[in-house]
């Protein structure tokens, strides 16, 4: 049965303010026929000149509006905070929760019957989903889409992934300033977000696997006509959802999270997506822990041959059938009865998808790897967990033991890795601390420490790196991340000293500091508590309420009771 429109309580009562609100619509030249009784479809737009990945969403919003008008709704575009990964300091992650609060409150406070969420760059889709989950008004995501594939001297270039590889060649003197200028233009050819399976692509895929987008929404390039067609269709669908739902809580169920994690593992997607999924689930009261990721990872094969671990780029993924084809292949491992925003089940939706032969998405019986690309580590260095993206790590370094070299800050680390006389061995373990939610602050992507120049000169291409930071989804290497609890609040990472032996054992999922427990305790007891980075404003709110990585880094007061 259709629900009464939420917006009626703003416009349809006999009180003064309904009259006054209607008159403000008349002030724009809108006639009663165009507004009266129509579902109001909010278009929550993260377009911003300060967020190049999302700048084109203004054009996407126009396509959504067409769909809303055509279906008999009234579109109302509104801005929210936008988080540009490249520009924001100290890190966009510091502001994810702030953006989610903006989204939640603007949906709840306005006469919105359903909302279309426009996002792209890394933190924007997570914050949109978190806010929409808390507001629980019918919502549909339209991802902004990736950039077109980069290309440089005949080779495919993936943003982040190949940028870092070529920058290391520049650091090693193999490329000059002119080469880098050519690369700068070759790697980013169009509007859109990073076009490897980084965090933005991962979150678009996850939104589709959660059932929060129309089918086939994740992969089309930002500038592809089909991206605009999906936006238009999403506007049309939102009009129906205004009266019939489903709401985000009805879509994002435990089954939907199972499907999203399965897609994440099969894609070898970003470790950042783990933190974001934990946070979204927390908003809905869906119980989700790192153990759920580990369990799904153990039975989900790696199927997607995309950079940073594979050969192809998001444009190739789109032409190969995109998320719909990946999910169709994964169907035996999914919960097919999960409801989608289309109103049908994921299983029904996928039954209508037509796949065709391609080489980007492997079959279940021909995977790139037998299990998922992200593993959860535990041990005396990470009592609450840590992550490693094995699909992007060197197999030879996944069961190793070496001497710790500790950096207390990013500046310290950068100075050492760029020092050609830095004393480091191929089996050393680089340790960065004070890089978590409290320590950095804001949980930045410092975990992918650049290779030391002194190792690069010896032809070494990877080294074990561990930290309480995150890393970009576009990064690669044997990098242990998200160590929880973090060092700044007294996690055991704070006890490591230069020369300690650290063992990384991915097959057993262990991360061990080979120092006796009483010595670790004594070292932690004697440490100085770092001075808080903020004493006022949003920064203080963040430090007072942010949770640790294994809980999703949301604010404690924003989680569902
Ligand atoms: Fe925006 Fe990579 S910088 S998605």
How far, in Å, is the centroid of ligand 1 from the Cα of 122?
6
Quick one: pLDDT at residue 1?
44
Chain centroid to CA 310? 19
DSSP state of 555: B
Atom of ligand 1 minimally distant from the CA of 199: 4
- 1, part of any domain: no
CA–CA gap between residue 481 and residue 117 (Å, rounded): 30
- 25, part of any domain: no
CA–CA gap between residue 392 and residue 398 (Å, rounded): 11
2: pLDDT strictly greater than 60:
no
How far, in Å, is the centroid of ligand 1 from the Cα of 141?
18
Atom of ligand 1 minimally distant from the CA of 474: 2
Quick one: pLDDT at residue 348?
97
User: Mean per-residue pLDDT for 91-108?
Assistant: 98
Q: What's this model's pTM, rounded to 2 decimal places? A: 0.96
pLDDT digits (tens, 9 = 90+) for 38-79: 999 999 999 999 999 999 999 999 999 999 999 999 999 999
How far, in Å, is the centroid of ligand 1 from the Cα of 273?
14
Residue 263 and residue 135 share a domain? yes
> Which token pair is 538?
């949003």
pLDDT digits (tens, 9 = 90+) for 141-195: 999 999 999 999 989 999 888 998 899 899 889 999 999 999 999 999 999 999 9
Residue 177 and residue 210 share a domain? no
Residue 322 and residue 267 share a domain? yes
Cα-atom radius of gyration of the chain, to the nearest Å? Answer: 24
Residue 129 and residue 220 share a domain? yes
Closest residue by Cα to atom 3, ligand 1, is 85
* 33 band by pLDDT with thresholds 50, 70 and 90: confident
Count: domains in the chain:
3
Q: What angle do CA 418, 444, 531 make, to 5 degrees?
A: 95
Atom of ligand 1 minimally distant from the CA of 159: 2
pLDDT digits (tens, 9 = 90+) for 438-486: 999 999 999 999 999 999 999 999 999 999 999 988 888 999 999 999 9
End-to-end CA distance of the chain: 29
335: pLDDT strictly greater than 50:
yes
Mean pLDDT of all residues in the chain?
Answer: 96
36: pLDDT strictly greater than 80:
yes
How far, in Å, is the centroid of ligand 1 from the Cα of 163?
13
Task: Count CB neighbours of 230 within 10 A.
Answer: 26
Closest residue by Cα to atom 1, ligand 1, is 121
Q: Ligand 1 pocket test: which of 85, 92, 202 has the largest number of ligand atoms within 8 Å of its C-beta?
A: 85
How far, in Å, is the centroid of ligand 1 from the Cα of 40?
31
Residue 336 and residue 465 share a domain? no
Contacts 24+ apart (CB under 8 A), 286-290: 286/252, 286/253, 286/254, 286/257, 287/254, 288/254, 288/257, 289/550, 290/376, 290/385, 290/550
User: Mean per-residue pLDDT for 90-102?
Assistant: 98
> Which token pair is 502?
């650290």
- 5, part of any domain: no
User: 307: closest CA among 418, 203, 391, 217?
Assistant: 391
Residue 401 and residue 291 share a domain? no
Write the CATH number for 412: 3.50.30.80
Residue 140 and residue 52 share a domain? yes
- Listed in sequence order, the residues at least 6 apart from 208 whose beta carbon sits closer than 8 Å to its beta carbon are 215, 216, 217, 218, 263, 323, 324, 327
The number of CA neighbours under 13 Å toward the Cβ of 288 is 30
> Which token pair is 116?
């279309």
- 223, part of any domain: yes
- 7, part of any domain: no
How far, in Å, is the centroid of ligand 1 from the Cα of 200?
6
How far, in Å, is the centroid of ligand 1 from the Cα of 426?
31
Atom of ligand 1 minimally distant from the CA of 472: 2
Within 6 Å (CB) of ligand 1, which residues are found?
A: 53, 85-86, 121-122, 193-194, 198, 200
Q: Ligand 1 pocket test: which of 157, 200, 472 has the largest number of ligand atoms within 8 Å of its C-beta?
A: 200
Q: Determine the angle formed by the axes of helices 272-284 and 254-267, rounding to 10 degrees.
A: 180
How far, in Å, is the centroid of ligand 1 from the Cα of 539?
23
DSSP bridge pairs for 379? 382
Residue 403 and residue 267 share a domain? no
Structural domain including 73 reads 38-148+190-351
How far, in Å, is the centroid of ligand 1 from the Cα of 123?
9
Quick one: pLDDT at residue 3?
66
Residue 225 and residue 132 share a domain? yes
Atom of ligand 1 minimally distant from the CA of 85: 3
- 32, part of any domain: no
- 541, part of any domain: no
Residue 172 and residue 204 share a domain? no
How far, in Å, is the centroid of ligand 1 from the Cα of 480?
22
Cβ atoms 542, 442 nearer than 8 A: yes
Write the CATH number for 302: 3.40.50.2300
DSSP characters over 296-317 = HHHH--B-B-BTTTSSB-HHHH
Residue 407 and residue 318 share a domain? no
- 2, part of any domain: no
Task: Count CB neighbours of 556 within 10 A.
Answer: 11
Atom of ligand 1 minimally distant from the CA of 200: 4
How far, in Å, is the centroid of ligand 1 from the Cα of 9?
39
pLDDT digits (tens, 9 = 90+) for 393-419: 999 999 999 999 999 999 999 999 999
Quick one: pLDDT at residue 351?
95
Residue 325 and residue 195 share a domain? yes
How far, in Å, is the centroid of ligand 1 from the Cα of 195?
9
Atom of ligand 1 minimally distant from the CA of 52: 1
Closest residue by Cα to atom 2, ligand 1, is 194
Q: Ligand 1 pocket test: which of 49, 50, 53 has the largest number of ligand atoms within 8 Å of its C-beta?
A: 53
Task: Count CB neighbours of 142 within 10 A.
Answer: 33
Atom of ligand 1 minimally distant from the CA of 201: 4
DSSP bridge pairs for 517? none
């Amino acid at each position: 049965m259709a629900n009464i429109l939420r917006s009626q309580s703003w416009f349809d009562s006999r009180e003064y303010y309904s009259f006054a609100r209607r008159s403000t619509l008349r002030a724009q030249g809108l006639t009663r026929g165009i507004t009266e009784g129509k579902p109001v479809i909010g278009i929550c737009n993260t377009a911003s000149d300060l967020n190049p990945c999302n700048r084109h969403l203004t054009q996407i919003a126009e396509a959504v509006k067409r769909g809303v008008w055509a279906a008999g709704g009234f579109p109302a575009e509104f801005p929210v905070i936008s988080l540009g990964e490249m520009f924001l300091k100290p890190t966009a992650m510091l502001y994810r929760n702030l953006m989610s609060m903006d989204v939640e409150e603007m949906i709840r406070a306005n006469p919105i019957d359903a909302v279309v969420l426009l996002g792209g760059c890394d933190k924007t889709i997570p914050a949109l989903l978190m806010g929409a989950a808390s507001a629980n008004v019918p919502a549909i995501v339209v991802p902004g889409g990736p950039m077109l594939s980069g290309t440089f001297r005949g080779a495919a270039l993936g943003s982040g992934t190949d940028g870092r590889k070529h920058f290391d060649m520049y650091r090693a003197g193999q490329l000059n300033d002119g080469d880098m200028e050519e690369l700068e233009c070759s790697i980013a050819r169009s509007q859109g977000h990073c076009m490897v399976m980084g965090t933005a692509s991962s979150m678009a895929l996850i939104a589709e696997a959660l059932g929060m987008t129309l089918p086939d929404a994740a992969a089309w390039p930002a500038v592809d006509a089909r991206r605009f067609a999906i936006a238009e269709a999403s506007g049309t669908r939102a009009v129906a959802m205004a009266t019939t739902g489903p709401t985000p809580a009805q879509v994002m169920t435990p089954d939907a999270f199972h499907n999203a994690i399965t897609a994440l593992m099969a894609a070898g997607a970003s470790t950042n997506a783990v933190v974001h999924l934990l946070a979204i689930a927390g908003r809905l009261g869906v119980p989700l822990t790192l153990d759920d990721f580990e369990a799904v990872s153990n039975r989900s094969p790696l199927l997607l041959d995309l950079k940073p671990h594979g050969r192809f780029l998001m444009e190739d993924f789109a032409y190969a059938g995109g998320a719909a084809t990946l999910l169709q292949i994964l169907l035996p491992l999914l919960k097919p009865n999960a409801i989608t925003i289309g109103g049908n089940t994921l299983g029904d939706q996928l039954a209508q998808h037509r796949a065709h032969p391609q080489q980007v998405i492997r079959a279940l019986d021909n995977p790139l790897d037998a299990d998922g690309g992200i593993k959860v580590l535990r041990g005396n260095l990470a009592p609450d967990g840590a992550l490693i993206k094995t699909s992007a790590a060197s197999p030879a370094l996944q069961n190793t033991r070496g001497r710790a070299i500790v950096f207390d800050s990013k500046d310290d680390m950068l100075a050492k890795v760029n020092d050609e006389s830095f004393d480091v061995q191929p089996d050393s373990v680089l340790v960065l601390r004070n890089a978590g939610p409290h320590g950095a602050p804001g949980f930045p992507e410092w975990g992918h420490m650049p290779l030391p120049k002194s190792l690069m000169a010896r032809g070494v291409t990877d080294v074990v790196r561990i930290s309480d930071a995150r890393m970009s989804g576009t990064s690669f290497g044997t990098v242990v991340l998200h160590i929880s609890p973090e060092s700044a609040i007294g996690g055991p990472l704070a006890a490591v000293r230069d020369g300690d032996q650290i063992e990384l054992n991915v097959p057993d999922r262990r991360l061990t500091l080979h120092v006796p427990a009483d010595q670790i305790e004594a070292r932690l007891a004697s440490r100085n508590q770092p001075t808080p980075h903020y004493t006022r404003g949003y920064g203080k709110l963040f430090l007072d309420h942010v949770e640790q990585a294994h809980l999703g880094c949301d604010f404690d007061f924003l989680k569902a009771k």
